[in-house]
Each structure stands twice: as structure tokens, then as C-alpha cells.
Amino acid sequence: MAIKTIAFDADDTLWVNETIFTITHARFVSILEKYEEPETLEKRLFETEIKNLSIFGYGIKGFTLSMIETALELTEGRLTGAEIQKILELGKDMLEHPVELLPHVEETLKVLQTDYDLMLITKGDLFDQESKIARSGLAEYFDRIEIISEKDTVTYQKIMTRHSIQMASFLMMGNSVKSDILPILALGGHAIHIPFHTTWAHEVVAPEKLAHVQYEVLNSIAEIPERLPHLFTSK
């Protein structure tokens, strides 16, 4: 069946995201380096993030709370009010960070929207994601926008059912193999991986789990209009 609907991930597919977290990690370490070694701080922060996902979900607000929790635990309550304020400012800076589109994104969407129904499927905090979408200037290119709490087969199937989309005619594009590629392939859809130069550890998939999985990989979103007719059944 021909591809009719193309969905895009947002963070690190359409605009820069993980780089902002990487910078904030370094700033977090600099605030607490007098209390603990950087390696321990990074390890404990990641463990706290993962532990809190089921409570706070994905996004900057949950990350900020996890930074504060990690700092309080590692310093055994010795953290000062001024240091807590600095961590809160890190979170605010992230939320107010300008949306930086990745190269060739807007011109590619403009080309694709003439022949395909375009969707945006992103996970994270509703308010933050809505804000980034609005500030990106890309909302006009999408026929449907879905902001969800998790990207798994159950959630994707609900989206397909809600919009009456057949998986055989659906294509997902994103930077995360775990979230954007594997669930779609499991449901019988098509997927293209567009790697970003850095990936959050939680989204990394062990190589042995990909040994028998086949999916397309492109170096840049700019390749899509030319390559798409040759990768799948053209429309």
C-alpha cells in the first residue's frame, strides 16, 4: 500500500533538544561539584530521572525536580536555598530556550505537505511541547498533532485507530530507534531513522536487540523527498 501519512518526531528530529539537556547537566555538576564527584552526580541524576518517569513523565519540569531530588539526597540535606534556586533557574532557562530548527526541516515539510498528510507525534510535558510547537513556526505544516506521554505500540495503535489510519500506509520518522522506529515496525508500519549526534541513554537500544530488525536510515531530513519514492511504494 502506498504511503499516505507521514509522521515526524519533534525533539532532535525537527529541532534541537538533547543538546540543551547536555549543557544543563554540565551546569548542574558545576553547582554541586564541591559536594560530589561529577561521575557520581551524573550517575545518580540519571537513576533518579528513570525512577521518576512513572511519576513526572518526560520533560523539563520532571527533569528539574529530579535534579533537586538528586542534589538533596547526595548532599544529605546540606544543599542551601541559594543552590536550590540555581537549579530551579536551570530548569527555567531550559523552558525558555529558543527553538532551534535543524537544517532543512521547514523546506522539507513544505515539499512533503503537497503530496502527503503530515503528522507530528511527540512525547513530553503538554505545556512545554505545545510551547515549542508554537514557537517553532511549523504547526501549519501538520494536519494532525499528537502530544503523548509515551511512545509504545499501545499508544501508536490508539492514534492510528483515532485517525482511521492504516499502518501499511503510515510512515514514522525520528531520531530514536526505541521510540520512533521499533514500535511502528512491530505494528506493521514503515519507519525511517534520522540519527541525531547525541542520544539520551534511556533511548539507546542494545545492538543485539537490533540484529534482525530492518529499517531505513537517512543522514538528513533533506534526503526524504528524493529518496522516499525509492524506499517505499510511491504514491
Distances (CA, A) of 41 to 28, 72, 110, 155: 9, 11, 43, 33
Taking the CA atoms of 218, 221, 222 and 225 in sequence, report the sign of the dihedral they define: positive
What the chain holds in terms of domains, given with CATH numbers, is: 5-15+100-231 (3.40.50.1000), 18-95 (1.10.150.240)
Cβ neighbours, 10 Å, residue 104: 14
* Residue 132 backbone zone (phi > 0: left; psi -120 to 50: alpha; other: beta): alpha
Predicted pLDDT at 200: 65
What are the pLDDT digits (tens) for 174-232? 999 999 999 999 999 999 999 987 776 777 777 777 777 888 899 999 999 988 887 77
3-state helix, strand, coil in the chain (%, to 5): 55, 15, 35
What are the pLDDT digits (tens) for 157-181? 999 999 999 999 999 999 999 999 9
Kindly report whether the global pTM for this prediction surpasses the value 0.85: yes
Are 188 and 167 contacting, i.e. CB atoms less than 8 angstroms apart?
Answer: yes
Cα distance between residue 3 and residue 189, in whole Å = 10
